[in-house]
Amino acid sequence: MKFNTKTIHGGQEHDPAYGAVMPPIYQTSTYAQSTPGGHKGYEYSRTHNPTRNALEKAFASIENGTFGLAFGSGMAAIDAVIKLLSPGDEVISTNDLYGGTYRLFTKVFENYGIKFHFTSMSSPEKILPLINNNTKLIWVETPTNPMMNIIDIKAMAELTKGNNILLAVDNTFATPYLQQPLELGAHIVMHSATKYLAGHSDVVMGALVVNDKLLAERLYFLQNASGAVCGPMDSFLTLRGIKTLHVRMQRHCENARAVAEFLENHPKIDKVYWPGLEDHPNHEIARSQMKDYGGMLSFITKGNDYDEAVRIVERLKIFTLAESLGGVESLAGHPASMTHASIPKEEREKSGVIDALIRLSVGIEDSEDLIADLKQAMQD
């Protein structure tokens, strides 16, 4: 089954009760039993819910995985992965990381004796010195948030072989439409399904997909034991969103290219970060592991002026100044004061997240309108 067909039919079955094409919303917390322990596969909705199970099968299908898990948020999904570890274990991650992930790693799990290393992942040689007997996980974002760096997933997978190390890839920006990390050697794929998978800015949701049965069983146990699951209504909405993922992503990519090329040629712009541009330092890696280059980009105005960056995002009319990304509508953000404010300024700036950086989530509106909006926002 091809990807475009999987988004609509992958892992799905018609409802056995009445043949409903869309999985019904099983808005229930518990299920009747005919005798103690005698039930029809469902006993309590924290553990299992038919609507959530349908979504989890869809997650697995579109990532070419075997087991899918749905969580109440992307952070809850990441939390479950780190709970696979024990005190004394070490994690290697990129130094260009979503602020919420950095906060979870440093402010929560460091308190429980897990050590995190943040480094450039531009080449395996920069990671090798950090690997030791305590290394249990390599955590990758690609493209990274917000600098749009591309990390070679195959190269990272090679580092884990024979070392008892898990490779987890945050695939939120790329989505499985553009990139499938399990096919490239990853053990775990994570999504903030709030973003492109749900796609309409009306759900908060997280996802994990794996192939290994034992790993899946450990994660299912944590999902149930910790209880950070999503509700049936959110599951239904995300299932509906996935059915248009392929057509939305095509337009996101087309519009991002148009916006990136406009910004690249604008006299007020110093630098544009979008992996589809040939001068992007990781363009060749992106071309080798991605189908297209995504709807996310960042840019810096000339002079690296904080006040100018804020003025631009405040003057936008079609782009909405807001947190999050990946919805059908275009959003603009100022990472230093919004998504990455939890990272100390000195650490942010080491990876390029300076005060003048603006991040765009390019939606599926008409690209000419988006360009006109940026043009008016940058006028003197």
Active site residue 170: yes
Catalytic residue among 26, 79, 96, 98: 98
Residue 100 has pLDDT above 90, yes or no: yes
Cβ atoms of 68 and 209 within 8 Å: the answer is yes
Q: How far apart are alpha carbons 163 and 99 in whole angstroms?
A: 28
228 and 206 co-located in one domain: yes
Most distant CA pair in the chain, distance: 74
132 and 270 co-located in one domain: no
What DSSP line would sit under 107-132, residue for residue? IIGGGGT-EEEEE--SSGGGTGGG--
Residue with tokens 């988006």: 370
Residue with tokens 């100022």: 334
Active site residue 98: yes
196 and 273 co-located in one domain: no
In total, how many domains does the chain have?
Answer: 2
171 and 272 co-located in one domain: no
Please identify, among 214, 242, 270, the residue that sits at the C-terminal boundary of a domain. 242
Report the candidate in 65, 77, 85 with the shortest Cα–Cα distance to residue 6.
Answer: 65
For strands 135-141 and 67-71, give the pairing.
unpaired
First to last CA, the chain: 52
Catalytic residue among 42, 46, 89, 218: 46
217 and 344 co-located in one domain: no
pLDDT, tens digit, for every residue of 47-60? 999 999 999 999 99
Cβ atoms of 299 and 272 within 8 Å: the answer is yes
259 and 226 co-located in one domain: no
pLDDT band at 204 (very low <50, low <70, confident <90, very high): very high
163 and 224 co-located in one domain: yes
Active site residue 112: no
Q: What CATH number is attached to the domain comprising 369?
A: 3.90.1150.10
pLDDT band at 346 (very low <50, low <70, confident <90, very high): confident
Q: What CATH number is attached to the domain comprising 159?
A: 3.40.640.10
220 and 146 co-located in one domain: yes
54 and 193 co-located in one domain: yes
216 and 279 co-located in one domain: no
Residue 262 has pLDDT above 90, yes or no: yes
Average pLDDT over residues 141-168: 96
Catalytic residue among 96, 152, 170, 292: 170
Please identify, among 212, 242, 272, the residue that sits at the C-terminal boundary of a domain. 242
Which pLDDT value is given to residue 265?
Answer: 96
Please identify, among 242, 273, 299, the residue that sits at the C-terminal boundary of a domain. 242
206 and 268 co-located in one domain: no
SS in 3 state form for 227-240?
Answer: CCCCCHHHHHHHHH
With both helix axes pointing from N to C terminus, report the angle between 74-82 and 213-226 in degrees, rounded to the nearest 10. Answer: 120
**C-alpha dihedral sign at 11, 207, 205, 292:** negative
Which pLDDT value is given to residue 352?
Answer: 86
Assigned token pair, 67: 């087991």
Q: What is the mean pLDDT of the chain?
A: 96
Cβ atoms of 70 and 94 within 8 Å: the answer is no
Global confidence as pTM: 0.96
Q: How far apart are alpha carbons 18 and 269 in whole angstroms?
A: 57
Give the residue with greater pLDDT, 332 vs 123. Answer: 332
Residue 376 has pLDDT above 90, yes or no: yes
pLDDT band at 77 (very low <50, low <70, confident <90, very high): very high
Catalytic residue among 6, 52, 136, 195: 195
Average pLDDT over residues 280-287: 97
* Boundaries of domain holding 204: 3-242
205 and 264 co-located in one domain: no
Which pLDDT value is given to residue 348?
Answer: 83
pLDDT band at 43 (very low <50, low <70, confident <90, very high): very high
Active site residue 15: no
Residue with tokens 């049936």: 232
Which pLDDT value is given to residue 294?
Answer: 98
